[in-house]
Structure 1
Amino acid sequence: MGEKTIHTMTQAIRTRAVALAVEDEGMSTAEYAIGTIAAAAFGAVLYAVVTGNNIVSALTDIIDRALNTAV
């Protein structure tokens, strides 16, 4: 390969890489929407778990044992 061919190929690769890095039409909005929905769903699940009877009773038992230990 000649020097000119290598230079042309390098330039083409560089141009394509820049184009790929710049082309993100609408993707950030979709990513934010999906991330927001996922965070809200995770928050709802976490709230349901923490406010459930099992977790509340377990935390109450731990606090009772900690407060009622003999020193």
Structure 2
Amino acid sequence: MSKFPSFRGDDGMATVEYAIATLAAAALAAVLYLVVTSEDVVAGLTALIERALSVKF
């Protein structure tokens, strides 16, 4: 019996899949951060919040 483990063709695939998913999630988070912090979105959200707070009951 060999001292070294035998490797199959798909060994390590789960690790690669997790790494790819992590990179994709980080890229999506970066894009969302850029969108949410853009001037147009900040101005729109600020106007929406100010309008909601100024409603008279």
**What TM-score do the two structures reach when normalised by structure 2?**
0.75
Query: Which ranges of structure 1 fall in alignment gaps of 5 or more residues?
Result: 1-22
Runs of 4+ in 1 over 4 A off after TM superposition: none
Between the two structures, name the one with larger relative contact order (CA 8 Å, sep ≥ 6): 2
* Percent of aligned pairs sharing the same letter: 55
Q: Show the counterpart of 2:32.
A: 46
**1:35 maps to which of 18, 21, 37:** 21
Q: What is the CA–CA distance in structure 1 between the aligned matches of 2:53 and 2:15, rounded to whole Å? A: 50
How many residues are treated as equivalent by the alignment?
49
The amino acid that maps onto 1:40 is A
Query: Which one has a larger percent helix, Structure 1 or Structure 2?
Result: 1
Query: Which ranges of structure 2 fall in alignment gaps of 5 or more residues?
Result: 1-8
